[in-house]
Structure 1
Amino acid sequence: MANTPQSKKRARQNTKRFDVNRARRSRIRTFLRKVEEAIASGDKAAAQAALRAAQPELMRGVTKGVFHKNTAARKMSRLSSRVKALG
């Protein structure tokens, strides 16, 4: 357990930050799931629209420190190649 005032404050900050990051990660996963569902349905136009909506969310996750930039780039690359292969 945290003993010093500094470590108590740090523990409070960590729990707040964890909640914010968890919400942000969940939001990004929702956008990615919409792209996956559009790909599964075979609708190329819907998949492209979902991908365009997901891309800024994913990159915002990178700037906020939720995802590593290479992870986001890999996810976008794989999704875009799958969308491109549709139709």
Structure 2
Amino acid sequence: MEWDTPIEFAPVILMFKDPDRVFSIRTAMGAANALIREFPCDDGEEFLLAIKLCLDVVKGTADPEQLRAAIIRAAEEAGVTAIAVLH
């Protein structure tokens, strides 16, 4: 399992209440860091699913697009603005 493996997906921009806290997420490692370090809550069902999917993507047992969708749902659950960027 390699966290540094660049398994990328179309970016999701997270905007928190503090205007200086804006994050662009496009990898499993970036998602894990944002979820663990930045999210205002860590016990929601969507949050926990997103954390699990970070590991699953790195292990190769989940698709990066599943993680991207989970990040968006976790943001909605936590009241964080998520902007889904399309390529």
Superposition TM-score tier, normalisation by shorter sequence = 0.3 to 0.5
Structure possessing the higher relative contact order (Cα contacts under 8 Å, 6 or more residues apart): 2
**Structure of greater Rg:** 1
Which is helix-richer, 1 or 2?
1
TM-score by length of 1: 0.34
More strand by share: 2
TM-score of the superposition, structure 2-length normalised?
Answer: 0.34
